[in-house]
Amino acid sequence: MKALVFRAFGGPEVLAVEEIAEPALAPGTAVVRMKAIGLNYADVYRRQGNYHLVGEPPYILGYEGAGVVEAVAPDVAGIRPGDRVGFADAPRANAELVAVPADRLIPLPDGIGFDTAAAVLLQGMTAHYLANDSYAVRPGDRILVHAAAGGVGQLLAQLCKAKGAYVIGLTSSEAKRETALSAGADEALLYGVDWAAEVLRRMASPGGSGEAGVDAAYDSVGATLPDSFRAVRTRGTVVFFGMAGGDPPLVDPRMLMDTSKTLTGGDLWNHVTTAADRLRRAESLFGDLLAGRLKLAAPTRFPLAEGAAAHRWIESRASTGKILLVP
């Protein structure tokens, strides 16, 4: 089978399609013929050598995708060849065939295509736990969403809106600002200004407790954490779930005490620890998509053979929707 591999860490140029052996059908697994593969920034970090990789070269990136079950181990029940499935946390997805632990497979309902599943599962389940678990968004809440034009940001803004919140997005360009507004944010500000002061000005009176600031800020940038604390009201919450802009400065516990503000962390893999977790969140997302409560921007598709170009595109920071690799 063909797979997108690399043998040394580095830039996109280290990626190449090679012919390698098909994956073995181990106990507890199913082999899936891939139809669409999600590209995520974690793949870039792994390619660069910043994230740990198990095993020896050639390495195969990718953890998310969708396709058709081709073979099932004898000890697996409830999954059959021909089933349409997706997954968000199985390695070596950048290939024509992937061996996936059966408990990580998510059946696709009618109306959810391969591209949609590969585009929504990882980012969508991230947005789902953020809006429901890290901070349970309530009607009337004022919510600040960093990187609101990104994949998680667009979905998070929509999930918060569906819960009755007022959403302010933050973006890095005017074009991305328009994307955030189109995705459902009520307002969108640019990072180039003193956005924390502007949030305080705009959130000074109506809604919630009437205090200046938002009720919660979802920060995936990291370096912006101090300004996120400035932007939330007294007794507000900052959810820290990413470091796209670099490591955050240290947080003074005295500030938390003096303002009664809450800092909480977020990582998807602490929230999808069982098959039931995955199915519950995926079914909720699929239901919202089919009902029109959640909308996905059209993904950018690259043939698997053009994986290096796809990596250059995601690293350019110019992309606003999901990037898919197609075998």
- Give the pTM: 0.92
CATH architecture type of domain 2-120+273-326: Alpha-Beta Complex (3.90)
- Name the CATH topology of 139-265: Rossmann fold (3.40.50)
**Host H or E run for residue 34:** strand 29-39
Residues 6+ away with beta carbon under 8 Å from 90:
63, 98, 100, 101, 104
Domain boundaries, the chain: 2-120+273-326, 139-265
What is the chain's alpha carbon radius of gyration, rounded to the nearest angstrom?
20
Do 124 and 285 form a contact (C-beta atoms < 8 A)?
A: yes
**Host H or E run for residue 158:** helix 151-162
Per-residue pLDDT of the chain (327 residues; tens, 9 = 90+): 999 999 999 999 999 999 999 999 999 999 999 999 999 988 998 999 988 777 888 999 999 999 999 999 999 999 999 999 999 999 999 999 999 999 999 999 999 999 999 999 999 999 999 999 999 999 999 999 999 998 899 999 999 999 999 999 999 999 999 999 999 999 999 998 899 999 999 998 654 445 799 999 999 999 999 999 999 999 999 999 998 888 899 999 999 999 999 999 999 999 999 999 999 999 999 999 999 999 998 899 999 999 999 999 998 877 777 999 999
**Residue 255: how many other CB atoms lie within 10 Å:** 12
At residue 263, the 3 state secondary structure works out as strand
Q: Cis ω on the peptide bond leading into residue 248 (within 30° of 0)? A: no
